[in-house]
């Protein structure tokens, strides 16, 4: 059987959530689970996030899924609602919404939820420099006044454009604008206005600016949110392992090319393994010739010297990908491995090693994209 598999480790998720809470001990945590929990599957990860104060989603459909799975704490719709009808649905399912433009403000003021409704809490979005969603300076003050008069509770929010790069000059400006607005609203509108600034990268890079709510996403899944530290340096554990199996073994003679476009040409006789994974599963076609996968071979003691690590009776070998990634398979160079390589040997595309952030760098993208764009084909399982 073809065995492309996405394995979710709930303990890693909980560990990463605890790491976020340790870094932001005074803030509540809105754990971001949009895009099917960054490709991990909302149903699989929600039980591991019980210690979050709420979950953040990008669409009402995602909010509904979380409610149907029994999530009874806060849900934040980070793009807010898209119509007056959807505002009513948000009320029906007790969701808190971002309000980022005038139509959303109108829908909210025309249909004020009851005093015990979570929808009474709104996330008022102030544009501090990202220049996508949000009100400008004057509009934010005006919207805050109107919402407060209509008995809404306010969380002032904004989103960083460059938090992954601690030294980027826009960070200081966004922080300053946010800080000034929050102080102004506290003074002129209500002492109770709360603040929420940080995504994962902000949470890691700007410990002085966590405010009332932090909104970690990518770090919960064990990928590094910042450019100057790896996931393991941040003590984050990958919540996903993406794996397949060797489906056939072959040998390529000197001068012969492998795969579509004949991109890679053997400069010596090369033993290859065909692995049943491809871009049809979500493995990126764009990876370069430096990309590796990890082949796990049942250990025989004499093999273990050549390997990088050995655990639970398996020896793991990093092997380079050769030639183009196809829809259903890739070819890897196993010349350095024992000749008697069992056909069912497991191949890890990303997980502990290689890390998804490494593969992303080799494919010219970011871990977020690789995680989110896995296809429906791989089987989904969890470690416990």
Ligand X SMILES: *Cc1c(COP(=O)(O)O)cnc(C)c1O
User: Is position 100 an interface residue for ligand X (rule: CB under 6 A)?
Assistant: no
Q: Are 202 and 209 in contact (CB under 8 A)?
A: yes
Q: What's the token pair of residue 259?
A: 């795969």
Confirm or reject binding of residue 238 to ligand X (CB under 6 A): no
User: In this chain, which of 80, 195, 217, 222 binds ligand X, going by CB under 6 A?
Assistant: 217
* Catalytic position from the list 167, 260, 298, 300: 260
For 186, which DSSP code?
A: H
The sign of the dihedral angle between the CA atoms of 98, 223, 349, 368 is positive
How far CA 151 is from CA of 119, 173, 217, in Å, comes to 11, 31, 30
Place of tokens 């990518």: 218
Instruction: Out of 218, 252, 295, 359, name the contact with ligand X by CB under 6 A.
Output: 218
Query: Is 159 or 324 the residue whose CB approaches ligand X more closely?
Result: 159
Pairing state of beta strands 96-99 and 257-258?
A: unpaired
Q: Candidates 1-9, 12-20, 198-206, 319-327 — which segment interacts with ligand X by CB under 6 A? A: 198-206
Instruction: State in angstroms the smallest separation of the CB of 144 from ligand X.
Output: 18
Q: Does 159 bind ligand X (CB under 6 A)?
A: yes
Counting contacts by CB under 6 A, is residue 215 touching ligand X? yes
Complex with ligand X: residue 120 or 159, whichever CB lies closer: 159
Are 332 and 273 in contact, with CB atoms under 8 Å apart?
A: yes
The region of 138-146, 194-202, 272-280, 372-380 touching ligand X under the rule CB under 6 A is: 194-202
The crossing angle, in degrees rounded to 10, of helices 137-149 and 169-188 is 30
Q: Determine which residue in the list 195, 216, 282, 323 makes contact with ligand X, applying CB under 6 A.
A: 216
Looking at the Cβ atoms of 34 and 324, the one nearer to ligand X is 34
Could you say whether residue 104 binds ligand X (CB under 6 A)? no
Give the closest residue to 211 by CA, choosing from 249, 175, 265, 168.
175
Position 209 contacts ligand X (CB under 6 A): no
* 346 Cβ neighbours under 8 A, 6+ residues apart: 243, 244, 245, 295, 296, 314
Which residue in the shown chain puts its C-beta closest to ligand X? 217
Residue 93 is a catalytic residue: no
* Closer CB to ligand X, 258 or 371, in the complex: 371
Q: Residue count at the site for ligand X (CB under 6 A)?
A: 12
Which residue of 32, 99, 156, 321 would you call a contact of ligand X, by CB under 6 A?
32
Total count of residues recorded for the chain: 384
Q: Buried (b) or exposed (e) across 179-210, using 16+ Cβ within 10 A?
A: bebbebbbeebeeebbbbbbbbbbbbbbeebb
Smallest separation (angstroms) from ligand X to the CB of 368 = 7
Tokens of 33: 């689970």
Active site residue 221: no
The alpha carbons of the chain give a radius of gyration, in whole angstroms, of 24
Task: At 176, list the tokens.
Answer: 């300053």
Q: Is 199 in the site for ligand X (CB under 6 A)?
A: yes
95 near ligand X (CB under 6 A)? no
Stretch that binds ligand X, among 16-24, 196-204, 244-252, 311-319 (CB under 6 A): 196-204
Q: Which of 19, 36, 128, 200 binds ligand X (CB under 6 A)?
A: 200
* Catalytic-labelled residue, pool 28, 34, 125, 346: 34
Question: Interacting stretch for ligand X, rule CB under 6 A, among 212-220, 245-253, 335-343, 374-382?
Answer: 212-220
Tell how strand 346-350 and strand 292-298 pair up: antiparallel
| Binding-site ranges for ligand X (CB under 6 A) | 32, 34, 78, 159, 199-201, 215-218, 225
Active site members: 34, 260
């Amino acid at each position: 059987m073809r065995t492309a598999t996405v394995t979710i480790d709930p303990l890693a998720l909980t560990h990463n959530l605890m790491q976020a809470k340790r870094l932001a001990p005074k803030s509540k945590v809105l754990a971001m689970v949009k895009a099917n929990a960054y490709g991990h599957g909302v149903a699989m990860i929600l039980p591991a996030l019980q210690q979050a104060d709420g979950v953040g989603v990008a669409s009402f459909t995602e909010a509904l899924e979380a409610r149907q799975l029994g999530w009874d704490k806060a849900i934040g719709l980070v793009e807010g609602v898209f119509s007056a009808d959807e505002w009513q649905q948000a009320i029906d399912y007790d969701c808190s919404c971002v309000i980022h433009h005038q139509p959303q403000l109108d829908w909210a003021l025309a249909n004020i939820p009851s005093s015990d409704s979570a929808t009474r809490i709104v996330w008022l979005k102030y544009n501090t420099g990202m220049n996508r969603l949000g009100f400008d300076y004057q509009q934010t003050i005006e919207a805050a006044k109107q919402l407060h008069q209509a008995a809404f509770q306010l969380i002032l929010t904004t989103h960083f454009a460059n938090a992954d790069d601690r030294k980027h000059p826009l960070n200081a400006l966004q922080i300053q604008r946010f800080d000034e607005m929050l102080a102004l609203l506290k003074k002129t509108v209500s002492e109770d206005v709360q603040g929420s600034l940080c995504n994962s990268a902000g949470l890691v890079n700007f410990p002085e600016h966590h405010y009332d709510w932090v909104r970690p996403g990518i770090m919960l899944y064990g990928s590094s949110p910042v450019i100057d530290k790896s996931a393991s340096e941040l003590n984050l554990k990958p919540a996903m392992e993406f794996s397949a199996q060797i489906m056939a073994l072959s040998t390529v003679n000197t001068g012969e090319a492998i795969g579509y476009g004949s991109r890679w040409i053997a400069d010596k006789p090369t033993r290859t393994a065909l692995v049943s994974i491809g871009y049809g599963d979500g493995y990126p076609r764009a990876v370069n010739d430096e990309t590796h996968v990890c082949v796990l071979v049942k250990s025989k003691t004499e093999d273990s010297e050549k390997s990088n690590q050995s655990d639970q009776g398996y020896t793991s070998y990093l092997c380079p990908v050769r030639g183009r990634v196809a829809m259903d398979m890739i070819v890897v160079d196993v010349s350095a491995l024992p000749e008697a390589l069992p056909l069912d040997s497991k191949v890890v595309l990303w997980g502990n090693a290689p890390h998804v952030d490494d593969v992303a760098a080799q494919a010219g993208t970011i871990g977020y994209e690789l995680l989110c764009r896995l296809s429906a084909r791989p089987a989904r399982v969890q470690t416990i």
